[in-house]
Amino acid sequence: MGFPAQQQEVPGVQSAMDPVPDCGEESYRGSGRLTGKRAVITGGDSGIGRAVAIAYAREGADVLISYLEEDGDAEEVARLVQKEGRTCILMRGDLAEPAHCRDVITRAATEFGGIDVLVSNAAFQMSHDSLDEISDEEWDYTFRLNVGAYFHLVKAAVPRMPSGGAIIGSSSVNSDMPSPQLAPYAATKAAIANFSASLAQLLGEKGIRVNSVAPGPIWTPLIPATMPPEKVESFGSDTPLGRAGQPAELAPVYVLLASDEGSYISGARVAVTGGRPVL
């Protein structure tokens, strides 16, 4: 199933997409698997982060959502979380700045009394046909946000996390099957998978589990905001399942990795790719 050709300015707004992604607003049903947990979710205003925030709230968690500037999308997520009787803190700002990463963690730990789950999901990508199109600034920013923020968030969060805590990084199928048009993004996603595997070994003695999720093509605002309209039309059609995934189809994996049911899952990378292999 394809999508109508469309284009947005970066970073993209979910409410302006056609069709609007399914983040589980009407479909996700919780069962108390995260009752009492305190979670930080970056990029939680839209796409995968939004789906994770909704699922976590319906599973009983309070959440802090970090987002760049998409106030309308973020406020809608807050309403959905609060509808479940859970607390939702919104923090606007650029996670490419290390100080903001530390501020996010400090606020969550202060207001929640600690952090049980960190989902590092915010990311930047752009599509280019040649290296000449990639500016030095774009290359540096992609790594500062996608990889640097993960490092700074984890470093600040670990002292505030109890044994039993969980860290989840959002990698990508691009980490193993890099799209040449997404070279900087793909390189960062490989780094996230690798860093997550290192963290799992470093933090195991603290009882903190670390895993990554490797999504395939998922219908999020990044797509119309960073790809030409003709690629948007066919986005995801080359997967074995013949379509792009919806953010709601990622949420159950993030729930499992955050829950006590995943107590012996650490160092894993879970592929949710519509059939594309991840090595």
Which residues are known to be catalytic?
A: 185
Amino acid at 74: A
The answer to whether residues 239 and 219 touch, using CB atoms and an 8 Å cutoff, is no
The answer to whether residues 235 and 3 touch, using CB atoms and an 8 Å cutoff, is yes
Report d(CA 61, CA 83) in Å as an integer.
Answer: 13
Report d(CA 149, CA 103) in Å as an integer.
Answer: 12
The answer to whether residues 1 and 235 touch, using CB atoms and an 8 Å cutoff, is no
- β-partners of residue 92 are 67
Dump the DSSP string for 147-215.
Answer: IIHHHHHHHHHGGG--TT-EEEEE--GGGTS--GGGHHHHHHHHHHHHHHHHHHHHHGGGT-EEEEEEE
Sheet holding 166-170, edge to edge: 88-92, 62-67, 38-42, 117-120, 166-170, 209-215, 269-272
Amino acid at 260: D
Burial of 97 (0-12, 13-18, 19+ CB in 10 A): middle
Beta carbons within 10 angstroms of residue 198's beta carbon: 11
